[in-house]
Structure 1
């Protein structure tokens, strides 16, 4: 990109839980501190301003980094539609964050802090999606986490998709695993993470944020969009 420096527009889902909103603002501040670029925050759903409204108020080029762990409906449809309505279809939208290896490493750290023990089976808890491509991305994350932990990892869904987290936990117990831990494939606290306490697991990991690794992943997405030849 030439001309004015681009602004990083951090696109988050949005939640009515004030803890989750505080985490989103904290992530935006940390990204700005680590990357040294202007950073704005927009919401894909639930809260305002939406991504397009924020982009429309920015002068100069915009790079939207979706703070999502898979490229489901919000990333593929909602965010581009919001940008188009605001007259900012020129904004560059990067990939979602889930394929960045730093996030799987963060999920493993969160599990260990929650009480995961070597030998435990693991359920990776994701929000869920009706999009098969997004579900495939979560399955890939589970495979990578299994290699990180040297442990069996199954996917469980909180809102959309099967098996549910509780069913995945029960399935691992039925397969002979005495202890089952739930890893969180969620960025921030909120209703979805709260539901995990009723999954029947022996340990439930915290969401991925706050963690500098997540901010690093956002900065890396931005820099790859701005200077692809240098990354």
Structure 2
């Protein structure tokens, strides 16, 4: 069984370095990992799978479902002609991701009573919206009230949500619901929040989620 880790792709060196670090950490647990990108960078999933033989597990390193997970990735897999590739679900929503965001919040000095804005990239896909709202509720289970805001696609922009909360006189902390640093995360620093967490990155809990996706498909295949 071959594992293919699929990320979005970024031209930012720091973002690519994070994906490389995540893939290396997963490989330490499950063996060799091939990395592909659905946008910006190559190789794409079609190119990677076309060069592989035997069963393959394709794991989308996305925090929510959406166009890339539901439409783009399956299309590239079909184009590859690979007959035995299984695509797992997206990483989130998942309690482990909420735990990582809580850890990031504590790193920047979040305290109970501070307003929390969960900042996601956003999507026009209804499935992604449901996933992101579910992710917000999982974080709220740990920190109390959570306000959802989008960096790119979506009506509730992070900066607008932060501004409204600041006008109420509250201390506002942005919880980055982003996998890696890049242009989206950089935008969060311009929203006027009192603190912004770093992206999730190669946190061991996130790496364990990825490894679990592979292990689950492998165990089913062996039955």
| TM-score normalised by the chain length of structure 2 | 0.95
Instruction: Say whether residues 1:225 and 2:217 are aligned partners.
Output: yes
Aligned length: 222
Q: Which runs of 5+ in 1 are unaligned?
A: 1-5
Report if aligned partners of 1:120, 1:177 keep a CA contact under 8 Å in 2.
Answer: no
Report if aligned partners of 2:14, 2:182 keep a CA contact under 8 Å in 1.
Answer: yes
Instruction: Say whether residues 1:12 and 2:10 are aligned partners.
Output: no
Taking the aligned partners of 2:204 and 2:163, their CA distance within structure 1 comes to 33
Report if aligned partners of 1:181, 1:202 keep a CA contact under 8 Å in 2.
Answer: yes
Aligned to 1:3: none
Aligned to 1:109: 103
Decide whether aligned partners of structure 1 residues 178 and 74 sit closer, same or farther in structure 2, where only a CA change above 3 A counts: same
Q: Quick one: which of 176, 179, 182 aligns to 1:184? A: 176
Report if aligned partners of 1:80, 1:89 keep a CA contact under 8 Å in 2.
Answer: no
3-state DSSP of counterpart to 1:10: strand
Structure 1 stretches of 4+ with a deviation exceeding 6 A read none
Taking the aligned partners of 2:29 and 2:59, their CA distance within structure 1 comes to 15
Taking the aligned partners of 2:81 and 2:200, their CA distance within structure 1 comes to 33
Q: Which runs of 5+ in 2 are unaligned?
A: none
Report if aligned partners of 2:93, 2:132 keep a CA contact under 8 Å in 1.
Answer: no
Taking the aligned partners of 1:53 and 1:172, their CA distance within structure 2 comes to 46
Instruction: Say whether residues 1:213 and 2:205 are aligned partners.
Output: yes
Taking the aligned partners of 1:32 and 1:177, their CA distance within structure 2 comes to 46
1:229 positional shift: 9.2
Aligned to 1:27: 22
Aligned to 1:59: 53
Decide whether aligned partners of structure 1 residues 89 and 201 sit closer, same or farther in structure 2, where only a CA change above 3 A counts: farther
